[in-house]
Structure 1
């Protein structure tokens, strides 16, 4: 299918932004009620990869989620519902072996059927050390995954098996209560082995080097572009419930640019921040939803200065979180004094919220921060220190690190903060390589269990950019995943304990806000799914009302 692109040029603060438009005959079809089922939207960041084994950012995960589907998908109530699996699995008596039957009508966009072998291939690829997947530790729930990741077993020993083309068997290390939620995540999506093998290292680097088995096909993305298009996938097994024929996406890192595109009618959806939230709060197009996303500072423990726990504690307490959420974000986000956000998980015994139960673990306290800085100077043998904070180059990220720079330099005398803002793809590469002192990032969990946050800092975890290495912490994670897998209260208490170790004792990460989604959505556009965890957004059920 050939796609045309209508380029609308809009001058904004000296910057020219290209707004994607229609021209594709099939994708501009008109619904029975006379409505054109096509929308234009913005994204606050670009796609880094379309490879579900290699992604490490939400924008890439969003794109992958529009075009791919796993055994389960997320429904409008944010619960797991059946996707490529056509029925709930049969489960062994010991609750370790799950057998799934796949849909007969599930296809790839090249016409191949989606088979059990596609899941086996994809899962083995994620855990294979040669892949270096940032998400590999998420598969540790599957038998032998951890051994494989640590080069103690072969990828073909992973506890996934294709009984036949449409029967998939998954064997777990231990029973887990959240498997359906886990399987909605991006690392658990299938890949077509024949296509991936033929494409080689180029897989997922452009629209032409990836296949779809989900609601949409991705078009018009070369791998470095700031615009792309989703076209309805007519071969998707649930295509009758996908109403939109086309979604044109334009990257707008600057909120003002996105708002301008909305006001001129060039997009129907765009995210809001800071002053724009106040301006549009009473607009009928305005929406705000709390998310489980957190904003945080990560510290490089492989560098002498930031390996010092007292310096990390000083930095963690040296900035006013509430002033930040009020003045920089202003979108409903709130100060966060722990690692696990509020409204995310509840104690299985007393139903109390995790954040409320574990309390405030790190607060804004300039006096304590100064005291920790004095100790750090003594241990490091320095009187002054210069540190660099790395961030992506989006408007909000730049404002965030400028705020942090001002606060830290004001509250910690003799510390100089330099800033380095680069495109997200480069920021991820630098943090992965350990080429930074401190970085500002955000983290969105894939499913609603605290272990998804805590396992990030497993010593051999692919997203452990801080290189935190604690035998005690790793042992605690193992207890959560195995020893206490069927003892929910003990499991919960261990997760409370590990959060305190991570934040209060070792100051591995400095969380400072819990995010919210504030956005403008044209009132004629209905049923866009805004997720509180996992991916940001889905257009699978969206449609344009007459």
Structure 2
């Protein structure tokens, strides 16, 4: 009997030991699985802010988009799909009032529920003149937004209302056909008023001063760092479909540095430019996707020199766009001779592409450039002139302005071009303050309608760094937004006219290329979303396959 008891005890002990061993193995397996679903990536620029009301650059928008979600989000087909809204809204008979029901399981990273009041607060913040949001004009579609941002009405009168915690009502100025796409944009993301108020002016200046309601949490960013980490947000309503547990991001302004990190397997994703495209274009890790992003020169019309339209026209025609895209970029980007990019919007009457229908508005033409330069010198009363081009300090930006400097000085004798390259945050601050002659920048729309490009240059537009003012342009733009809102062909024709005025007649900016995204992505990493407009990239659906 004693032997039987002993054997039984030994067997039981073996079960316990086996169970303990199995538990340890399970933990190790879980740990391995968690490690597996982690990637390292590069970004070509730093985060400037995490405040969705204050951003004005794509890198900040990218970061905000990883940690935040609005009523709609962008699906793999680049279409708007439901996000925090749990169902399509009910719409009034006049198509001006939209009523959304929010998800019951949508939470902020501090545990607070996402409520209709969070959207009301965020939208009012964007249009409030005290905020000075660069994106405020994007909300002009909402009732009273334009009046509010021009200090003719109070923010509380904005056409957005919290009926209750989970019911949001949005009233538009006029019916618009693209509202879901518009609402995926960064300016339309919610903010937790209590948290934002408690952090004050520090909100969005570091990882600790922002809340998340999206797929990831942001960690390890102090506000000036060149690296940060995205951690899976387990409280995200759709967390079950977020596979990655960790995305480590390192800024690589120099493409070569990013490529070196990829080759040494320190990152699984990095962007490519110029000679690296040629080197890797046959590699299975190489990809090239077209974008609606444009590269352009902006002119400060508040200055005597660049306020002269003939000088602006001369500068616009004085550099070889094809040589630039072939030698400096080489990533699939193409020369652009207008403001609205190709394959972006189509005529509702005949389905013709906007760019093809409006034709070439500004081309490389050194002879015409010299003629305009001669007229400008006469009107300005000078024989020689020195101007400065401002840019960010990324490798591509530096190469771009060096190319432009060489071309312009060659084709416009007597014009000297100086260069000033600074970190993106500083470049944005200088352009916002009007402290520049010319700047090189890029612009990517938030949704696929030409109005998103054109509204930038209305007289009171928050991103109108050129300080362009034209009553004719403003009247036409308002007609597009209101009078022709339900007359698609008249609306389209007016947008064609507005682009010609902006680029061909007034030479407000000098667009010169339509971008593409060339990059290396580890073949084992799947589901990374590369956007053709708006933000650059999303890791929400990304995962490691093996």
Q: Does the C-alpha gap of structure 1 residues 312 and 86 become closer, same or farther in structure 2, counting only changes over 3 Å? A: same
For residues 116 and 300 of structure 1, the distance between their equivalents in structure 2, rounded to whole angstroms, comes to: 40
Q: 3-state DSSP class of the match of 1:513?
A: strand
| 1:20 Cα offset (Å) | 34
Q: Does the C-alpha gap of structure 1 residues 155 and 482 become closer, same or farther in structure 2, counting only changes over 3 Å? A: same
Q: 3-state DSSP class of the match of 2:11?
A: strand
Is residue 24 of structure 1 aligned with residue 26 of structure 2? yes
Is the contact made by 2:34 and 2:245 (CA closer than 8 Å) also made in structure 1? no
| 1:5 Cα offset (Å) | 53
| 1:2 Cα offset (Å) | 52
Is the contact made by 2:344 and 2:449 (CA closer than 8 Å) also made in structure 1? yes
| 1:351 Cα offset (Å) | 0.3
Q: Does the C-alpha gap of structure 1 residues 522 and 479 become closer, same or farther in structure 2, counting only changes over 3 Å? A: same
Q: Does the C-alpha gap of structure 1 residues 96 and 382 become closer, same or farther in structure 2, counting only changes over 3 Å? A: same
Q: 3-state DSSP class of the match of 1:198?
A: helix
| 1:7 Cα offset (Å) | 53
Is the contact made by 1:10 and 1:18 (CA closer than 8 Å) also made in structure 2? no
| 1:35 Cα offset (Å) | 7.1
Is residue 109 of structure 1 aligned with residue 109 of structure 2? yes
| 1:336 Cα offset (Å) | 0.2
Q: Does the C-alpha gap of structure 1 residues 29 and 16 become closer, same or farther in structure 2, counting only changes over 3 Å? A: closer
CA distances 1:315-369 after superposition (whole Å, capped 9, x unpaired): 0000000000000000000000000000100000100000000000000000000
Q: Does the C-alpha gap of structure 1 residues 463 and 15 become closer, same or farther in structure 2, counting only changes over 3 Å? A: farther
Stretch of structure 1 that moved more, 496-505 or 5-14: 5-14
Q: Does the C-alpha gap of structure 1 residues 452 and 30 become closer, same or farther in structure 2, counting only changes over 3 Å? A: farther
CA distances 1:474-526 after superposition (whole Å, capped 9, x unpaired): 00110000000000000000000000000000000100000000000000000
Partner of residue 535, structure 2: 535
Q: Does the C-alpha gap of structure 1 residues 166 and 4 become closer, same or farther in structure 2, counting only changes over 3 Å? A: farther
Stretch of structure 1 that moved more, 462-471 or 10-19: 10-19
CA distances 1:38-69 after superposition (whole Å, capped 9, x unpaired): 00000000000000000000000000000000
For residues 349 and 36 of structure 1, the distance between their equivalents in structure 2, rounded to whole angstroms, comes to: 51
Q: Does the C-alpha gap of structure 1 residues 258 and 14 become closer, same or farther in structure 2, counting only changes over 3 Å? A: farther
| 1:284 Cα offset (Å) | 0.5
Where do 5+ consecutive residues of structure 2 fail to align? none
Q: Does the C-alpha gap of structure 1 residues 29 and 325 become closer, same or farther in structure 2, counting only changes over 3 Å? A: farther
For residues 60 and 10 of structure 2, the distance between their equivalents in structure 1, rounded to whole angstroms, comes to: 26
Q: 3-state DSSP class of the match of 1:391?
A: strand
CA distances 1:392-419 after superposition (whole Å, capped 9, x unpaired): 0000000000000000000000000000
For residues 466 and 37 of structure 2, the distance between their equivalents in structure 1, rounded to whole angstroms, comes to: 45
1:136-175 correspondence runs (5 A):
136-175=136-175
Q: 3-state DSSP class of the match of 2:369?
A: helix
CA distances 1:447-473 after superposition (whole Å, capped 9, x unpaired): 000000000001000000000000000
Is the contact made by 2:455 and 2:461 (CA closer than 8 Å) also made in structure 1? yes
Q: 3-state DSSP class of the match of 2:310?
A: helix
| 1:12 Cα offset (Å) | 60
Q: Does the C-alpha gap of structure 1 residues 29 and 161 become closer, same or farther in structure 2, counting only changes over 3 Å? A: farther
CA distances 1:206-245 after superposition (whole Å, capped 9, x unpaired): 0000000000000000000000000000000000000000
Is the contact made by 1:185 and 1:446 (CA closer than 8 Å) also made in structure 2? yes
| 1:252 Cα offset (Å) | 0.2
For residues 142 and 433 of structure 2, the distance between their equivalents in structure 1, rounded to whole angstroms, comes to: 28
Is the contact made by 2:117 and 2:165 (CA closer than 8 Å) also made in structure 1? yes
| 1:19 Cα offset (Å) | 39
Is the contact made by 1:36 and 1:544 (CA closer than 8 Å) also made in structure 2? yes
Greater CA radius of gyration, 1 or 2?
2
Give the number of the structure whose residues are more often helix, by fraction.
2
| TM-score normalized by the length of structure 1 | 0.95
Q: 3-state DSSP class of the match of 2:292?
A: strand
| 1:31 Cα offset (Å) | 8.3
For residues 396 and 3 of structure 1, the distance between their equivalents in structure 2, rounded to whole angstroms, comes to: 81
Q: 3-state DSSP class of the match of 2:31?
A: coil
| 1:446 Cα offset (Å) | 0.3
Q: 3-state DSSP class of the match of 1:400?
A: helix
Q: 3-state DSSP class of the match of 1:346?
A: coil
For residues 100 and 313 of structure 2, the distance between their equivalents in structure 1, rounded to whole angstroms, comes to: 47
For residues 9 and 42 of structure 1, the distance between their equivalents in structure 2, rounded to whole angstroms, comes to: 57
Q: Does the C-alpha gap of structure 1 residues 127 and 20 become closer, same or farther in structure 2, counting only changes over 3 Å? A: farther
Is the contact made by 2:292 and 2:515 (CA closer than 8 Å) also made in structure 1? yes
Q: Does the C-alpha gap of structure 1 residues 9 and 419 become closer, same or farther in structure 2, counting only changes over 3 Å? A: farther
For residues 467 and 220 of structure 1, the distance between their equivalents in structure 2, rounded to whole angstroms, comes to: 37
| 1:9 Cα offset (Å) | 55
For residues 510 and 18 of structure 1, the distance between their equivalents in structure 2, rounded to whole angstroms, comes to: 72
For residues 400 and 5 of structure 1, the distance between their equivalents in structure 2, rounded to whole angstroms, comes to: 84
Q: Does the C-alpha gap of structure 1 residues 273 and 3 become closer, same or farther in structure 2, counting only changes over 3 Å? A: farther
For residues 433 and 154 of structure 2, the distance between their equivalents in structure 1, rounded to whole angstroms, comes to: 26
Is the contact made by 1:297 and 1:440 (CA closer than 8 Å) also made in structure 2? yes
1:20-99 correspondence runs (5 A):
30=30, 36-99=36-99
For residues 301 and 2 of structure 2, the distance between their equivalents in structure 1, rounded to whole angstroms, comes to: 50
Q: Does the C-alpha gap of structure 1 residues 424 and 383 become closer, same or farther in structure 2, counting only changes over 3 Å? A: same
CA distances 1:283-324 after superposition (whole Å, capped 9, x unpaired): 000000000000000000000000000000000000000000
Is the contact made by 2:391 and 2:427 (CA closer than 8 Å) also made in structure 1? yes
| 1:17 Cα offset (Å) | 47
The total of aligned residue pairs comes to: 544
Q: Does the C-alpha gap of structure 1 residues 344 and 115 become closer, same or farther in structure 2, counting only changes over 3 Å? A: same
| 1:10 Cα offset (Å) | 55
Task: Could you list the structure 1 runs, at least 4 aligned residues long, displaced by more than 4 angstroms after superposition.
Answer: 1-25, 28-35
| TM-score normalized by the length of structure 2 | 0.95
| 1:33 Cα offset (Å) | 7.0
| 1:4 Cα offset (Å) | 52
For residues 165 and 235 of structure 1, the distance between their equivalents in structure 2, rounded to whole angstroms, comes to: 19
Where do 5+ consecutive residues of structure 1 fail to align? none
Q: Does the C-alpha gap of structure 1 residues 355 and 315 become closer, same or farther in structure 2, counting only changes over 3 Å? A: same
CA distances 1:248-302 after superposition (whole Å, capped 9, x unpaired): 0000000000000000000000000000000000000000000000000000000
| 1:24 Cα offset (Å) | 18
Partner of residue 364, structure 1: 364
For residues 367 and 86 of structure 2, the distance between their equivalents in structure 1, rounded to whole angstroms, comes to: 58
| 1:34 Cα offset (Å) | 8.5
For residues 498 and 453 of structure 2, the distance between their equivalents in structure 1, rounded to whole angstroms, comes to: 11
| Backbone CA RMSD of aligned residues | 9.8
Is the contact made by 1:300 and 1:437 (CA closer than 8 Å) also made in structure 2? yes
Is the contact made by 1:20 and 1:249 (CA closer than 8 Å) also made in structure 2? no
Q: 3-state DSSP class of the match of 1:326?
A: helix
| 1:377 Cα offset (Å) | 0.5
